[in-house]
Amino acid sequence: MVERIIIVLGLVAATLAISFLVRWRTRARLAAAEGRVLPVAVRSRFPADAPGVLYFYGPHCGSCRQQAAILDQLVQRELTAVIKMDAVEHADLADAFGIVTVPATLIVAPGGAAQRVNLGLRSLPVLTAQLREAAALRAA
Amino acid sequence: MAESFDVTARKFHQAVCVALLAVAFVIGAHSGLWLVALVGAVLLLGRFWWPADLFRQFNWRVLEPAGILKRREAQEDHETRRIARVLGGVVLLVSAVLLGVSLLWAWVLVALMGIMIFLDAAFDF
């Protein structure tokens, strides 16, 4: 029984270690992506004087449908520009901004730099707060 | 529209599943297979009939009303998790059967399920 307990503890430790390593690496990539300017072909689709959202989705992603519905609400409430891109078709762009999962949303600051990269579903209040933060930074 | 779910209940359910699978391994296949089968049944049946999700029910009826755990709502995608729990439930039930006929490599399947549940609980993977 003792050896089995050791095996379980070893598995837990290994899982935690690998998970922290993966999360640390993902965070490092996201931090590096924040501040990076979008290619001109993409940033020209956003207004020059207001923040927007660049949204990456996947063709068979269940939570992407939820995210798309939230973004539709965001467009209506905040009159925000939202550009939607298939992460598979635009894999290079997604990779350049540390996108490893979908749905993913980039808060694009006025001027076309990625201010915040979100991996996973984000709620309407969270996205609204991030957009307002981006708009306030510009005003400052 | 995104749905709101009790995150506390989900994480408690996942923690109990992982703990029971770990205990099942420690006590060995002869008795442990019943714990594996229990977790598998809760996962599978609870997907379609909430009262069968014993761990969540315990959380909602005992722990949250007693203030031991606090309900936390969040918007989550449960579609993926619903599919995952059906698959996980089936794999665990099959594993329990394999353990019952002394095919001890089934512990690998149990470990994989336990690790996946653990990762989702701890890191929302």
In a domain, A27, yes or no: no
CA B118 to the chain's CA centroid: 9
> Does the CB of B124 have a partner CB in chain A at under 8 Å?
yes
- What are B13-20's contacts with CB under 8 Å, separation 24+? B13/B53, B13/B55, B13/B56, B13/B59, B14/B117, B14/B118, B14/B120, B14/B121, B15/B121, B16/B55, B17/B42, B17/B43, B17/B55, B17/B114, B17/B117, B18/B114, B18/B117, B18/B118, B18/B121
Instruction: Answer yes or no: is A49 within a domain.
Output: yes
**Is A13 within the bounds of a domain?**
no
Alpha-carbon distance of A124 to A72, in angstroms, equals 10
For the stretch A77-90, pLDDT in tens is 888 899 999 999 99
Percent of chain A scored above 90 by pLDDT?
44
Residues of chain A positioned with their CB less than 8 A from the CB of B3:
66
Q: State the number of CA atoms in the 13 A half-sphere of B31 facing the CB.
A: 8
CB contact under 8 A, B119 and A4: no
Residue B86 contacts A, CB cutoff 8 Å: no
Note whether A121 contacts B80, CB cutoff 8 Å.
Answer: no
- Taking an 8 Å cut-off on Cβ atoms, the answer to whether B80 and A62 are in contact is yes
Domain holding B114, by residue range, is: 3-123
Residue A41 lies in a domain: yes
Give phi and psi for A21, each to the nearest 5: -65, -45
pLDDT of residue B1: 46
Which residues from A are below 8 Å from B74, CB to CB? Answer: 123
Report d(CA B84, CA B90) in Å as an integer.
10
Is A9 in the B-facing interface, judged by CB distances under 8 Å?
no
Domain that holds residue A72: 34-139
In this prediction, residue B95 has a pLDDT band, given cuts at 50, 70 and 90, of very high
Establish if A65 belongs to a structural domain.
yes
**B119: distance to nearest CA of chain A, Å?**
8
What's the structural domain count of chain B?
A: 1
A5 falls within a domain: no
As for how many domains chain A has, the answer is 1
Q: Is the pLDDT of residue A106 over 90?
A: yes
- C-alpha distance from B52 to closest chain A C-alpha (Å): 25
Residue A57 DSSP symbol: E
A41: domain CATH number is 3.40.30.10
Contact, A98 vs A84, CB < 8 A?
A: no
Residues B40-50 pLDDT 10s: 999 999 999 98
**Of B77, B119, B122, which is closest to A121 when you measure between CB atoms?**
B77
* A110, part of any domain: yes
Out of A8, A15, A121, the one facing B25 most closely (by C-beta) is A8
The interface pTM score, or ipTM, of the predicted complex is 0.76
A95 vs A92: CA distance, rounded Å: 5
Chain A touched by B51 (CB under 8 Å)? no
